[in-house]
Structure 1
Amino acid sequence: MEDTTNQPPTADASLYNGQPTDTGPSCPSARLTSCTPSISKNKGWVSVENVPTPNKQWFVLRVSYGRILKAKTLVEAKGMVYYIPLRYKEVRKQGKKRIITKPLLPSLIFVHASAEQVETLLHNIKIVANESRALLSYYFDHTIHLQDNPNRNPPLTIQDEVMNNFICLTSIKNPHIIPVTSNSIQFKLGDNVVVTEGEFKGVHGRVARIAGQQRVIVELFDECLVATAYVPREAMKKYE
């Protein structure tokens, strides 16, 4: 993602249809309901709100290496709702604090659309002479198989309430929010909890220890896990 060094320290950590999003510490507009996000202004920022939309769901699409901005431009031009989580980092240049942003998951883009819309999008992408792979492709769900073809997996889709929780976490402006792998978690994922205090209030996940710190892990699917910064035990409660 581009260097946003001219932005103030409140630069956001996500892109929602190309706009910065600000759900606030308790994520009031990323409600855990079965619904479709839309964009609305809130105190000068853009927040995630929800209205029901039939026949649409969140698709996970792979982006070929180093081409996340091109993918963003293409999906945006098609008028499709998408989400790209960003990670922001504070750096100092010539003694001044600056903010730079990078994609949190540079090989993925999340698109909210109907199956027909996504199929049309992918079929219209052509591989040019100097490229070996298409810009976008399906991320397949390897846990299930197609009923009419047991040798194939369907495209991976994310339930609205799970995606809303993921957006809630990755929209928080904290440089210690990090992607993790199961190998980096020092013990088996523990209790299901909801954070009750602090900037991560409202985030649902499972307790784990990473780099010597107690954190809450949000799992979008098997290979996509994101960790909060340190969360004290008194700031969470078990969630069934």
Structure 2
Amino acid sequence: MEDTTNLSPKADASLYNGQPSDTGLSCPSAGLTSRTPSISDNVRYGVSVENVPAGNKRWFVLRVSYGRIDKAKTFVEAKGLECYVPLRYKEVRKQGKKRIIPKPLLPSLIFLHASAEQVEALLHNNKVVVNDSRPLLSYYFDHTIHRQDNPDRNPPLIIRDEAMNNFIRLASIKNPHIIPVTSNSIQFKLGDNVVVTEGEFKGVHGRVARIAGQQRVVVELFDGCLVATAYVPKEAMKLYNEN
């Protein structure tokens, strides 16, 4: 497997859904700009989630070894790099009271906003301790294409800014009915691409699907990574044209 990333003195901490206090973990700074400079500070208030072009930085998808998402966040954070860890909000009852508990939405993945050189340097030596038998992080490869310099290998998966904006917009909404789904568990309705025009999911775009008897909008970040909104009524969406 191709490994490796380095450090950038830019970001103070990584970002948990734009709300580090939800995780119970400490972060050096509460401002979104310092955690993910490409994301507008207004995301905390539900106003905007737009990436600003940041030179040669791209959104890389990295695999996290089993059960170590918090360690991965801390490790990347210590290198001064920017990352995004999406959460889901699970509804539970304790002593008769309803509570919303944050959990990683994709516990085996972390999204790193960095240059290719920074990612290479980070992954070059990313064991938490010297005798650690497992690398903490590794590339998630794009199996839909091949490298130009080596046709037998796949390049690291990179997410377009627009797709990442849309994903962060959805994942940042604290709604327990937002769920990860698999392609064989949903029925797309005519495959319509829509954008939500009203309610808490306003601005999210994806494909209309029927899941668990409800009409929802599914956002596909990459092949195999799909997340569904809660129920969205027909009158709260319209057809979406990327162009």
TM band (smaller chain): 0.7 to 0.9
TM-score (norm 1): 0.81
Q: Distance in 1 between matches of 2:235 and 2:102?
A: 31
Specify the alignment match of 2:63 in structure 1: 62
AA in 1 matched with 2:120: E
- TM-superposed CA distance for 1:179, in Å, is 0.4
Partner-residue secondary structure (3-state), 2:121: helix
Specify the alignment match of 2:123 in structure 1: 122
- Identical positions, percent: 77
Partner-residue secondary structure (3-state), 2:199: coil
The structure-2 alpha-carbon separation of the partners of 1:130 and 1:95, relative to structure 1 and needing over 3 Å to count, comes to: farther
Specify the alignment match of 1:222 in structure 2: 223
Q: Distance in 1 between matches of 2:158 and 2:43?
A: 29
TM-score (norm 2): 0.80
AA in 1 matched with 2:177: H
Q: Distance in 1 between matches of 2:179 and 2:228?
A: 5
RMSD after superposition: 2.8
- TM-superposed CA distance for 1:50, in Å, is 3.9
- TM-superposed CA distance for 1:98, in Å, is 2.4
Contact 2:197–2:203 (8 Å) recurs in 1: yes
Note the alpha carbon deviations across 1:126-147, whole angstroms, 9 max, x for none: 3757754311000000011011
Specify the alignment match of 2:144 in structure 1: 143
Partner-residue secondary structure (3-state), 1:51: coil
Specify the alignment match of 1:75 in structure 2: 76
Unaligned runs of 5+ in 2: 1-14, 23-31
The structure-2 alpha-carbon separation of the partners of 1:129 and 1:117, relative to structure 1 and needing over 3 Å to count, comes to: closer
Note the alpha carbon deviations across 1:12-36, whole angstroms, 9 max, x for none: xx71577259xxxxxxxx9xxxx96
- TM-superposed CA distance for 1:174, in Å, is 0.6
AA in 1 matched with 2:134: R
Note the alpha carbon deviations across 1:22-65, whole angstroms, 9 max, x for none: xxxxxxxx9xxxx96246378899x8554331000000000011
- TM-superposed CA distance for 1:100, in Å, is 1.3
Q: Distance in 2 between matches of 1:95 and 1:144?
A: 51
Structure number having the greater helix percentage: 2
The structure-2 alpha-carbon separation of the partners of 1:130 and 1:182, relative to structure 1 and needing over 3 Å to count, comes to: farther
- TM-superposed CA distance for 1:92, in Å, is 2.1
Q: Distance in 1 between matches of 2:17 and 2:43?
A: 14
Structure 2 residue 124 is matched with structure 1 residue 133: no
Structure 2 residue 190 is matched with structure 1 residue 197: no
Aligned length: 215
Query: Aligned ranges for residues 1-240 of structure 1 at < 5 Å?
Result: 15-16=16-17, 19=20, 37-38=38-39, 40=41, 50-126=51-127, 131-187=132-188, 190-240=191-241
- TM-superposed CA distance for 1:220, in Å, is 0.4
The structure-2 alpha-carbon separation of the partners of 1:201 and 1:94, relative to structure 1 and needing over 3 Å to count, comes to: same
AA in 1 matched with 2:16: L
Q: Distance in 1 between matches of 2:161 and 2:125?
A: 26
Partner-residue secondary structure (3-state), 1:217: strand
Q: Distance in 1 between matches of 2:143 and 2:43?
A: 39
Q: Distance in 1 between matches of 2:40 and 2:216?
A: 30
